[in-house]
Chains A and B, each alone.
Chain A
Amino acid sequence: MISQFFILSSKGDPLIYKDFRGDSGGRDVAELFYRKLMGLPGDESPVVMVTTGGGGWRHHDDRHFIHIRHSGLYLVATTSENISPFSLLELLSRLATLLGDYCGSLGEGTISRNVALVYELLDEVLDYGYVQTTSTEMLRNFIQTEPVVSKPFSLFDLSSVGLFGAETQQSKVAPSSAASRPVLSSRTDQSQKNEVFLDVVERLSVLIASNGSLLKVDVQGEIRLKSFLPSGSEIRIGLTEEFCVGKSELRGYGPGIRVDEVSFHSSVHLDEFESHRILRLQPAQGELTVMRYQLSDDLPSPLPFRLFPSVQWDRGSGRFQVYLKLRCDLPPKSQALNVRLHLPLPRGVVSLSQELSSPEQKAELGEGALRWDLPRVQGGSQLSGLFQMDVPGPPSHGPSTSAPPLGLGPASLSFELPRHTCSGLQVRFLRLTFRPCGNANPHKWVRHLSHSDAYVIRI
């Protein structure tokens, strides 16, 4: 049960404010929350906060603020009860997804353009602070307001229009903004495409010891579905047949794709899962996490990156040299994008000179760390960078020249691997069993993506 719900922009301006129970002070709560959040001492967590006695004495005015941050916005709920934090946090993130579904995407601009829609949604989702329903399907019947979508003019749109009607390359790829449109816009615009987006997204966290041995591998995977199909259509998702769950099970003869734990969305029918690894579901419009899985410790494919550092350190002159060799162990056809290496340096490093293996790379110093940006790394390639730094200050005693200085490392990498899953899980097929009346075949988009959560290499 929540008393109030509000959305603040990243600067603290209230965008949406809704009081469900009228049992606590007015709109200044939002301001109070933001002030409290900004003035929080470093060792306290901002997730839950309490105010005691903000308003008059008459109310026992204890309010717990619980908030999540989502795409730069603060979604805050207040309650005066000792409520389950898990439910509340889940509710807030569900609200964020819902708002995203209805307004196209979640952001300061979309929220302030669609204020009426947001209030209408909140009215339906929550009644007197209790959850009514959060299912997109049920809410569809009640929501009348049309979302306002702004379409920024872009040259890319023009370029996809072929000369003399010729089909160009671009039209075979979904524009990146295709998935961020509201689910409801089809009400008036019948010509809207029926589309379904399926993403297999994996987050990889890895810890590699200084001698190169692997200390920790952890993959968190999700299959996310965003559907614009009319409800009632059934979707069948076929996963890799060698997919197996748990340590003991073994399927097929090749190297199995093994995960430790799997959980499915409650609307998924699993009757064909055991035999053919097929998930069957009738999704409501909007976004949905079909399946979550985790995998730790043994990975079927080699790790995407290996780092071979060598450090030379001359204490006498304060000269300090780091040679980094980065090897990408992806298959030659794949590539990694937006690779960034972050290496904390000893205090007091001032100047940097660099020798990089290709011109598109960039390296700079900032916040006591070295940042090395590699926009694109091809599988199987090897890149290197030589960095020389000066550490001014009194030359300290001790003749060690080879031992790495304290305060250096560990290096962390962040990257994206399009069309690659670390666990090896693939979507074999995506079939729709519905007959659209008079409409062309629905478009199906399947993406595989891995990105780094924490990829740490000790030096």
Chain B
Amino acid sequence: MPYLGSEDLVKELKKALCNPHIQADRLRYRNVIQRVIRMSKLDQWGQAEVLNFLLRYQPRSEEELFDILNLLDSFLKSSSPSVVMGATKLFLILAKKFPHVQTDVLVRVKGPLLAACSSESRELCFAALCHVRQILHSLPGHFSSHYKKFFCSYSEPHYIKLQKVEVLCELVNDENVQQVLEELRGYCTDVSADFSQAAIFAIGGIARTYTDQCVQILTELLGLRQEHITTVVVQTFRDLVWLCPQCTEAVCQALPGCEENIQDSEGKQALIWLLGVHGERIPNAPYVLEDFVENVKSETFPAVKMELLTALLRLFLSRPAECQDMLGRLLYYCIEEEKDMAVRDRGLFYYRLLLVGIDEVKRILCSPKSDPSLGLLEDPAERPVNSWASDFNTLVPVYGRARWATISKCQGAKHHGPELPNTASFATSGTLIPEENKETIQELPDSGALMLVPNLQLTAEYFEKTWLSLKVAHQQVLPWQGAVHADTLQMALQVVNIQTIAMSRAGARPWKAYLSAQDDTGCLFLTELLLEPENSEIQITVKQNEARMETLNSFISVLETVIGTIGNIKS
């Protein structure tokens, strides 16, 4: 408990806020809260702390709620950002059933947030920008009239510039689009390549709404003939054509000539894709592709070769006369000389497809050229304020939602031990208020990081030897119910490429199983499952021949998922 002024007060607060009986006694509780609120002698740390405590209180009636809000009003005017943000969070959560109150609060916090955004402390500025973005997700027009505050200045560090560009991208509207685009255009020629690319992608994002102006700017950028700019512009064009088919004509006119300035794999792929899909509108498309075919031997990226195969075949369908010869050459090269198996297989596949007949090729390759509906998917509708109110003034917006999800997933994987999640730290965790709208971030473990090798062959002797020589890397206990159906478990493990080496007979006590798996880098995971039915728990012991935490984590989460799923089927 931090220092909050007088000793008595600390005691009383502690009692009232921690004791459920007193919490139930509405009058006393309210009394405490009012006393706390009226304490003017608190310093800013105390105020922020008190606001945090109050999050745990749920007013019993509407009248009481507004009473509290009125009492707390002065905190919104505090000169300390942490108090203002704490008060804002409290207001948002208390008023979760009154959207107009929430909007009102967000309007009032605008001033302090903007002041923090232009604060001298870079770090504070960054945190404020992250929160601005959070608010913009729900109220897109909220900061539109203040767009100038988010223009980057030369001396700012990189991470602030990137945040500002994101904010600008989100608050653009009919009135400020001209000025914002002009500003972003200036960033595109920045000395830092990363920053200029971020600005170009931002213009691409705005182009989904204001297509014509943006495509014009992007086309002008191609005139710079700079590699790092051209490649990003072409990638932006590719995404744009897919989402906004109306700009296809303009993009096709801009493309000729830019192949000279693209060297990297991503840019080449984007250009080749555009030439293949919209080649019938670009007069020199076959000749550009021909250059790529000529140089295919010196091409280092397999992905570019794959893209080239598909694009050329597509173009062949619309302009057969110009492409037939080089398609033949490319297929010959891919099948006879190419060393990369994936490219070779793709070549063979297209060759056989062509043998079947041109109609079949058309049926398979001529997919739709654009999909405007995808734009809506990518850019989810406005989120209600309540979906993030509990995250406001925490680290979540600062990390970004996506990164926070991965961070808490890692934590989840490790905390899954027998003990319950740590609820003792009441100051920031557990709110007493039920949150109906709280999204549960529970995704399947991302198996992309870990690639287990299928069909690993391991003899029982080798397993035993390795098992004995290694130390335990991880041990944990998972809940389990009932007996084990060995076949189901084995099948399920097989699906995720975990092999079963040996298992006890059904019904044996304790029941044991030994599993093994190997990932694509050769790291070996040996596992023992130990089940004692009376405990209704299954104990997992994992050993690893190379000590690498990330892969171990993802392996364990895979294992957990499987065992969790099987356990659920039973119960």
Contact = CB atoms under 8 A, between A and B. Distances in A.
Interface of A: 1, 42-48, 50, 52-53, 57, 60, 62, 64, 66-69, 81-87, 89-93, 127, 130-135, 203, 205, 207, 215-216, 218, 220, 261, 263-266, 292, 294, 296, 342, 344, 347, 367-369, 396, 406-407, 409-410, 412, 414, 453-454, 456, 458
B226 interface: yes
A266 B45 CA distance: 13
B154 A218 contact: no
Contact of B153 (A81, A205, A261): A205
Contacts of A216: 148, 151
A62 B407 CA distance: 9
Given A83-B395, A86-B82, 18 more contacts: A42-B194, A62-B407, A62-B410, A62-B411, A64-B395, A67-B123, A68-B121, A84-B52, A85-B127, A89-B124, A130-B3, A131-B3, A135-B43, A207-B151, A215-B179, A294-B118, A296-B149, A454-B155
A153 to B, nearest CB: 33
A81 B425 contact: yes
20 contacts: A45-B126, A47-B123, A47-B398, A52-B411, A62-B407, A64-B395, A68-B123, A82-B396, A87-B82, A131-B3, A131-B45, A132-B3, A207-B151, A220-B118, A263-B77, A263-B112, A294-B115, A344-B190, A412-B153, A412-B155
A60 B179 contact: no
B394 A82 contact: yes
B209 interface: no
Contacts of B429: 81-82
Interface in B97-153: 111-112, 115-116, 118-124, 126-128, 148-149, 151, 153
B161 to A, nearest CB: 11
A266 B78 contact: yes
B438 interface: no
Given A134-B43, A412-B154, A406 B224 contact: yes
Contacts of A86: 81-82, 85-86, 116, 124, 127-128, 393
Contacts of A69: 122-123
B82 A407 contact: no
Nearest to A398: B223
A85 B395 contact: yes
Contacts of A57: 414, 474
Interface string B76-89: 01111110011000
A261 B82 contact: no
Nearest to B156: A454
Q: Main SS of chain B's interface residues?
A: helix
Q: Please list the 3 inter-chain residue pairs (A to B) with the smallest Cβ-Cβ separation, ordered nearest first.
A: A454-B153, A45-B159, A87-B82
A87 B411 CA distance: 24
Contact of B148 (A46, A207, A264, A409): A207
A315 B557 CA distance: 61
B252 to A, nearest CB: 22
A44 B159 contact: yes
Given A62-B410, A84-B48, A130-B2, A89 B121 contact: yes
B43 A47 contact: no
A85 B414 contact: no
A302 to B, nearest CB: 20
Contact of A84 (B79, B82, B120, B226): B82
A367 B226 CA distance: 17
Nearest to B474: A57
B415 interface: yes
A42 B121 contact: no
A262 to B, nearest CB: 10
B118 A84 contact: no
Contacts of B2: 130-132
B263 interface: no
B410 A52 contact: yes
Interface residues of B, number: 71
Nearest to B396: A82
A82 B111 contact: no
A52 B410 CA distance: 7
A218 B148 contact: yes
Nearest to A345: B191
B394 A84 contact: yes
Contacts of A207: 148, 151
A44 to B, nearest CB: 7
Contacts of B121: 68, 89, 93
B162 interface: yes
B286 to A, nearest CB: 24
Contacts of A42: 158, 194
A263 B395 contact: no
Contacts of A264: 79
B446 to A, nearest CB: 14
Interface in B388-444: 393-396, 398-399, 407, 410-411, 414-415, 425, 427-429
B427 A1 contact: yes
A83 B149 CA distance: 27
Contacts of A454: 153-156
B189 interface: yes
A298 B267 CA distance: 45
Contacts of B151: 207, 216
A215 B183 CA distance: 11
A444 to B, nearest CB: 24
A132 B43 CA distance: 10
B115 A85 contact: no
Contacts of B482: none
Given A83-B394, A84-B86, A456-B154, A134 B148 contact: no
Interface hub of A50, A60, A81, A86 (most chain B Cβ within 10 A): A86
A229 to B, nearest CB: 21
Nearest to A80: B425
B173 interface: no
B288 to A, nearest CB: 19
Nearest to A217: B148
Contacts of B123: 47, 66-69, 89, 92
Contact of A406 (B128, B189, B427): B189
